[in-house]
Amino acid sequence: MSYVEFERVSKYFGNAGGAPVLDALSLGVEKGEFVTLLGPSGCGKSTLLRCVAGLTEIDEGRVRLDGVDLTNMAPKKRNVGMVFQSYALFPNMTVYDNVAFGLKMKGMARAEIERTVKRMLEIIDMSEKSGQYPHRLSGGQQQRVALARSLAVQPKLMMMDEPLSALDAKIRKMLRVEIRRIQQELGMTTLFVTHDQEEALTMSDRICIMNQGRIEQTGTPEEIYARPKTAFVARFIGNYN
Ligand code: ADP
Ligand code: MG
């Protein structure tokens, strides 16, 4: 069994008889793997992440993490972290307090919180900004803090929903490299969502091409690029050969 297991997950949004948003989707993600869900807008990427986080209930199927069935578990108990496109930091808290917040919630001792936050700020290269408020930071810096905040609680699975989409091209490229470095340094199992082909091809251990609530093809970036299995994949990845 894989570390993360999606077993025929389906989701319908109200409209009985309508096309499902997630259509009996199955996928396994291994521990420490960086897997990207790549697909056009509306194909169900965000919905899939929301189902894992417990922000949306699934209608059929199962989701397991490290052997534990998440399907009916309270969101707070699921041990997953999520970073969104918009940074959603607490505006009235410093960088330090933003990263410390989840640790305080968990009841971690003060000295351990300090140690953890310090390490996280080092990892994202923001130690100097510890006392700053979010509005004083650039978009890229805010997104790094959001990442540190999610990582600090040591989730078993990190999920990122288009975390770079709101940033300009230069910062985006830098953060691609940085996110991957941090992910590998921590051995963090990651589900990354994007509609950007280049992002997926440069960052991932494995790519899942999604189309209308299903996975059309999964493989390494090289496999997907060199051997697209369907016309949709070939078109989407921009390789018509
Ligand atoms: P993606 O993230 O790949 O762009 P989404 O998962 O956001 O796609 O959406 C997939 C489909 O589900 C879209 O057609 C969207 O309109 C629909 N959808 C998403 N959330 C809801 C909701 N809360 N109620 C009804 N339909 C929704
Ligand atoms: Mg989305």
Block means of pLDDT (10 residues each) for the chain, length 241 residues?
97 81 98 97 97 96 97 94 90 97 94 97 95 96 95 96 93 94 96 96 98 97 96 84 43
pLDDT of residue 232: 95
pLDDT value, residue 86: 86
Which residues is 63 bridged to in the sheet? 6
Q: Whose CA is nearest to atom 21 of ligand 1?
A: 13
Terminal-to-terminal C-alpha distance of the chain: 35
C-alpha 153 – ligand 1 centre gap (Å): 28
pLDDT at 87: 76
3-state secondary structure (DSSP) of residue 96: helix
For residue 42, which ligand has an atom nearest its CA? 1
- Ligand 1 site residues (CB inside 6 A) read 13, 21, 39, 41-47
pLDDT of residue 88: 85
- Round to whole Å and give the CA distance between 191 and 30: 11
Rounded-to-integer distance, Cα 228 and Cα 215, Å: 13
Ligand 1: residue whose CA is nearest its atom 11: 42
Q: Any idea what DSSP says for residue 130?
A: T
Which residue puts its alpha carbon closest to atom 2 of ligand 1? 46
pLDDT for res 241: 43
Residue 112 contacts residue 120 (beta carbons within 8 Å): no
Ligand nearest to the CA of 38: 1
